[in-house]
Structures are given as C-alpha cells and as structure tokens.
Chains A and B, each alone.
Chain A
C-alpha cells in the first residue's frame, strides 16, 4: 500500500520520458532539404510544341526504391506537367509484377490513349503490354524490354553494354595519358545475376581488351550503399595499389567512396555509372578520386512521355524524314568529366 504512490510516480516519470522521447523523435523525421524537380524537360520543337489534341497518358513503373528509379518517376511526372494537352494518370509504383499487371489492366479499362510502361520484369509484363496493344492503345516501353516487339509500339531505354564500353575507353585513354602500360584496373559491379550487370561488365571487358588491358580485381555489390562499402573495403585490401576503378552505379557509389576514404587511398582514378548529382559535384570539385561518370540517365523517362504524347497525336519526330515515331530508341551513355559536367548537371539525379 505504502509503495503505491512511489510506483505511480515512477510510472508517470517513465511514461513522461517515453512521451517526450516520442515527441523529440517525431520532430526528427523532417527531411526538408529542398528536393529539386528534374530540370531537363523538353517541350518539343517546331510544330510538335504546339498544343494538339488532348492525350491521356497512363504511367506504370516499379517502386521508386532507389535514387535512379525515383528520378525516373519524377522525370515522367514533370515532363507530363510541361504539356498543357497531356493528362497524366500514374499508378502507385510496385515491385510486384502481378500487382503491376493489375494496375495496367485498370489503365486499359480506363481507356487511356497511350501507355508508358517501365516494367518491374519485362518478361512477366509482356502479356499485358500485348493486351494493351491489341486493345488499340500504343505502348511506350521504357528501359526494361518486353519479350516480344508485339507488346510495344516504341521502346526507349539505356545501353548497358555501351556504358561499359565508354567507361573502359575512358579509363584506357587516361591510362595511356599517364603512360601506364600495365595498369591495375578494378570493377565494382552491381547485382551479378541481372543481365544489365552482365552487359555492363562485358562492355567494360571488351573495351579494355581492345586496348590490351584487363580487369584484375572484380567484386559485385547489390546497388546499395552498404554493400558498396563492404565490397570495396575488401577489394582495396586485395589490391594494395590500383590505377583505375569503375563502379557500375552511383547509388552504391556513396558507399564505394566511403570505403576509399576510410582506407585513405587516392592513388587511382574512379569512374562512376548512371550520373548522380553527388558524383557530378565531386567531378566538378576535382578533389575527389572520381574523375568521370558514365550516364544511364533517367531523363529517358521524360523522353518516353514526349514520345507517348506524339503517338497520341499521330505526329512524328521533327528532324526525321519518317512520318512515324521510331520503334526503338537507345539513349547514349555519355561520359561526364570535369570538362563537360556543367552541361550535364540538368540530367543528374539525387541518389
């Protein structure tokens, strides 16, 4: 009995502390560092810029679970907003193929004029792409390609093989300039089981082989910051001295750089991949080991919206002789260096 008030007080104090901690913590979830919208939207040129018939574009993409994918969705949205004749209907991003199929079926039933689909898995979504095409809705397939050309009207995507090639060529050129005939070259790849990683690595190896070089140390991370740091930490222990390193992905690049800084290494040049703003900042500063990054720009999603609008309005591309939108467009994996980084900042994305 006599201990009752004591307990009550203890509980009150404990509860008060917990509540206070909760209030303080919830104040800590704010993340208001300005997230700029992508700037590289094009409003079209010549006649194509003129407002035409209203077009409703349905958009479906995987969950925006990393910087690059988030930028893809953001680009699509801001490009659609740039056109006054476009109505944009986007579904919630999902990494579940069956759910994405259901979402696209809903868009078909809603009677959108054109579909822009970035499939989570190209093979699994081929059937629904074809279903839309059969229903008379043109499909713009972005990046991850469907199994059958019957499932899309136009495909636009990046070039993983050429990403590797351009990274390899740039590194080879730098090595030649530094007069290194037998450089030690390392590679931090992404998830090894993905075809895109295999294509990037193949392109890199092929380009280096053309110059008589080869990759002597290779690790595969998982496109996450943490795996990038872990794999690179081990990699740097394996190679006591490096001349060049290519990292496939700028999202994991933050971890790769953390490992490099922690090991206190700066005897080599590093080339990134995809083209994040963070890497572009480092390239511009000139003080980092990062000297270049090879683009795989999410701005392709902005272009996909433009293409979808033109398809909806039955227009072709201004500078081409053909009356129709091409069936396939591959974006170029440009190499961004300190010389041209200013021009490319508009396609950089926040990782």
Chain B
C-alpha cells in the first residue's frame, strides 16, 4: 500500500495501478458495439488489481514472516517469559524511540537521501532539554525545546542539502559530528538527571495499560503513514525521490520539499529525544549512539529503496520490531552480545534477499 515504483511518480503511478480497470472499463462503457467482445476482460480487471495488491503484500509478508518466526523462537525458548504483558510492553517501549527516528528516516531515504546525524540530533535535543535552565521552566518548555532543537538541526541539514547543494551523506555527516560535539559542550559530558517530576510522571506513565511512549510511537507512525500515503506532501516525497527533474518540471518546489523532509526527520529526532530522556530519566551526549545505523537498517530491510522513489512505513515498523525482538530474545536466553551482532547482520541480508525473491517472482510470472 505504501509502494511506489521509481517510474510511477507524479500520480502516474496511481494511473498505472488503475490502468487495468480504466482500460477495461472505458471501452465497455464507451459503447455496446463490441459489448460481447469486451465483456471478457471485465472480470479479469478486478483480478489484475488484486494481483497488484497481492504483490505488495507478498513483499511485506516475507518480512512479517521473519518477525513471526522470531516471535515463535522467542516463545519456544522462553515460554514463561516471552509472551507476558510485561515483556511485550518492554519490547514496544524499547522500539519506540528508534521507531520514531526510523519514521523520519523513511521519508529521507524515500527522497533518495540519507541522514547520518539522527543519533547526534537525539543526543543534542536530549541534552538541551535537560539542562538546569530548561528544566527550571518545567515540562512544557522541555518538550518544546527538544522539538525545536530537533527541527532546527534537521532544517540546517535540509537547507545545506537543498540550497547549499551539499551531498546528503556529507552534510549529515558534518551534523553527526557537530551536533554530538555541541551536546558534549552543553552538558560538559555529564549525565543530566531529570528532576522535573511532572515530566517523568507523564512520559514514564501508562494510558489504558499501554506505556505513554508506545502511544507516542503509534501516533507518530500513524501520522507519518497518513502524511506519506494520503497527502500531497507524501506524493511529492515519492516524486522527488523517484525523479527530481521530473518533479521540478511538474511544478514541485523540489528544494523546499527536500529541506522540509530533513526538517521532518529532525523533528522526529526531537520526539525520540523526549522518549529517550523519559526512558533513562536523563539527558546525555551519549544518548542515541548508533541510532543512524539501526534506523537505516530498519528502513532498508523494510523495503524502502536507498535509491529513492519507494518507501514503506509499514515495512520500517516491522524492521524496527524485528531488531528489538531479536535483542529481547537474546537477553531472555542469556546469549552473548557478539552472537547477537552476527545474527543482526545475517537478518539484514536474509530479509533483503527475501524481499528481492518475493518481489521478483510475481513479476516474472
């Protein structure tokens, strides 16, 4: 459902998807002249669209199967611990921050960009929002501060890339180094413990039995999904990623759009910083370490093309969950971290290979 092929940008994709319907439909409605002859394709038309839908599902199904398989392994190895409410909520809570970062990363990678600075932006926002001065203004300013710092850093990335014509890899690499440096500078490399009880009570609490952090993740994910798949902004994101020149000729302000997408990724980092700060009850310049790698891995195994033009938020969600469940299972079984890293690498390769197979098979048949 979130699938757009590089060639299918600018709404041409939707036309292509619907084309079996329309080509079959319009002649039949055009006249009763060849009515008998045209009636035959008509039943196949819905089948064709269904086939298109299935093809999409198959790609995500492969990924989903990996997740289910992991859960089965988790349940078989620790039937007493894996499917408990506490454990599931732990998995979701740990997936929340990296999940939010990955939502932003999906947008960026869909525009054929990359953002290496997400981890550093999380660190900077978490440090900035937990300084003594920010905390003195209370929970509202802390939250606003994290969002503004994330958005601001993201927009700097975006402006450098879109208007300064710096390659995304380099611009965000610079931000990755600089933002963490600034975070170290502000915090004096100390861990800043949050004393504001209102902040801790709210963000570490639960609503309807589900941790607030998980609600935040679900909200960001839902908003991201709507934005990517149901709005002009999303259409433009696919268009810019698929073929920026065509997008420009179609009247899209490509530069502004790219800048906004990086700003969005930064905003996601600001939200993630709030979540990390709530989880750890502190802000530190070491927060968000290696988030860029985890987020890119989750987005890529989720089926978003590094070359842009195609992005799947649902795939990203499953990708994030796969890695979080994997760490959880390894800890539940008391396995060492080195084996975990090997397994992570293997899963990335297997998931990507699976996608290629499931992607290619229906196409060739």
Contacts and interface: CB of A to CB of B under 8 A. Distances in A.
Contact of B188 (A27, A70, A229): A70
Interface in B268-305: 276, 279-282, 284-289
B280 A226 contact: yes
B4 to A, nearest CB: 31
A167 to B, nearest CB: 19
B94 A230 contact: yes
B131 A233 contact: no
A224 B289 contact: yes
A-side interface mostly: helix
B127 to A, nearest CB: 9
Interface string A190-220: 0010000000000000000000000011111
Contact of A278 (B132, B193, B331): B193
Contact of B93 (A231, A233, A254, A255): A233
A35 interface: yes
A226 B81 contact: no
B55 interface: no
A224 B287 contact: yes
B332 A234 contact: yes
Nearest to A231: B331
A65 interface: yes
Given A30-B133, A233-B93, A225 B190 contact: no
A30 B135 CA distance: 10
A263 interface: yes
Interface string B55-97: 0000000000000000000000010110010110010011000
B286 A226 contact: yes
Contact of A25 (B149, B276, B284, B338): B149
Given A226-B287, A226-B288, A237-B90, A30 B189 contact: no
Interface string B252-265: 00000000000000
Query: Which of A28, A66, A70 counts the most B-chain CB atoms under 10 A from its CB?
Result: A28
B184 interface: yes
Given A224-B284, A254-B193, A31 B289 contact: no
A33 B132 contact: yes
Interface of A: 21-22, 25, 27-33, 35, 63-67, 69-70, 192, 216-220, 222-231, 233-238, 240, 251, 254-255, 257-258, 261-263, 278, 350-351
